[in-house]
Amino acid sequence: MALFNILKKEDSTPPQPSDRPVPQHIAVIMDGNGRWAKKRGLPRTAGHKVGAETFRTIATYCKNIGVKYFTVYAFSTENWKRPEEEVSTLMNLFRRYLKEAIDTMAKDEIAVQVIGDLSVLAPDIRELVARCNAEAQKRPEFSVATLCINYGGRDEIKNAVRAIAQEVQAGQLKPEDITEDTISQHLYTAHMPDPDFIIRPSGEIRTSNFLLWQSAYAEYYFTDVLWPDFKPADMDAAIDEFNRRNRRFGGV
């Protein structure tokens, strides 16, 4: 009941678009769910449930203000170490959300896709992911919301290196022809631009294996706000800070 009341209250503020320039690709490490729940005497899983609602709100807000790509770290390759109940709650949240996204994608005008090492996910989740990704591919004109599930930056680079090595072994590629772009094209994000802006809520100041290759020139933004408390106004504040930064990409 407490959780329901909190959600009801938070849902009462509809996101309002603004007219500020926005990054093309924003990525978020959705951190602080456990602490949010602990502060309220709730189980950690309650934090993830509210965090999933925050994801819906912020993904919609990003689409409304013109962000083409919104990417979130939903489950890392290391998160399997968490208690079984927490892992299964997260998997159920993914199930529920993917089912919903398949049906509402056209209406919401957000192409929802999942990336990561999906081979170890439960077969029904893999099936939902396949349907969701197939649906998303039919909608190139939509904004894209990407869930990184069983994602690890090092794991992704290792898989890319393996795939490239296999092409070299098969005589399809010469080692001297391997470029940075070859590597980018073998990552899960091959079809997306690199993130311009990476946001980490909850006061933690580290990258935690998220989009390691792709973040080479990203601007980072850290805030103490816990992810379940993150509002469209927090996104506006982050984007204002992004717009104040002077991105030089190694130039002067």
Among 25, 48, 63, 200, binds ligand FPP (CB under 6 A): 48
Site string for ligand FPP, 190-209 (x = CB under 6 A): ------------x-------
Backbone angles phi, psi at 235, to 5 degrees: -65, -40
What is the spatial distance between Cα 249 and Cα 78, in angstroms, rounded to a whole number?
31
* Residue 94 contacts ligand FPP per CB under 6 A: yes
What is the spatial distance between Cα 67 and Cα 20, in angstroms, rounded to a whole number?
11
Of 85, 154, 87, the closest CA to residue 122 belongs to 87
Q: Choose one: 17-25, 91-99, 122-130, 174-182; the region binding ligand FPP (CB under 6 A).
A: 91-99
What pairing do the DSSP bridges indicate for beta strands 197-200 and 25-29? parallel
Q: How far is the CB of 90 from ligand FPP (least distance, A)?
A: 6
Q: Choose one: 49-57, 154-162, 192-200, 213-221; the region binding ligand FPP (CB under 6 A).
A: 49-57
Question: What angle separates helix 44-65 from helix 2-11, to the nearest 10 degrees?
Answer: 10
Residue (48 or 63) nearer to ligand FPP, CB: 48
- What is the residue-wise DSSP string for 33-45? HHHHHHHTT--HH
Q: Which residues are annotated as a binding site?
A: 31-36, 44, 48, 76-78, 80, 82, 200, 206-208, 219
Beta carbons within 10 angstroms of residue 219's beta carbon: 17
The catalytic residue among 5, 11, 19, 31 is 31
* Residue 93 contacts ligand FPP per CB under 6 A: yes
* Residue 147 contacts ligand FPP per CB under 6 A: yes
What pairing do the DSSP bridges indicate for beta strands 110-115 and 69-76? unpaired
Of 88, 164, 79, 75, the closest CA to residue 115 belongs to 75
Residue (152 or 164) nearer to ligand FPP, CB: 152
Backbone angles phi, psi at 223, to 5 degrees: -140, 150
Q: Which residues are annotated as a binding site for Mg(2+)?
A: 31, 219
Q: 206 to 235, contacts with ligand FPP by CB under 6 A? A: none
Q: Choose one: 16-24, 32-40, 151-159, 178-186; the region binding ligand FPP (CB under 6 A).
A: 32-40
DSSP letter (8 states) at residue 247 = -
DSSP letter (8 states) at residue 230 = -
* Residue 51 contacts ligand FPP per CB under 6 A: yes
Residue (31 or 164) nearer to ligand FPP, CB: 31
* Residue 30 contacts ligand FPP per CB under 6 A: yes
DSSP letter (8 states) at residue 190 = T
Residues that bind ligand FPP (CB under 6 A): 30-35, 48, 51-52, 55, 74, 79, 90, 93-94, 97, 147, 202
Active site members:
31, 79
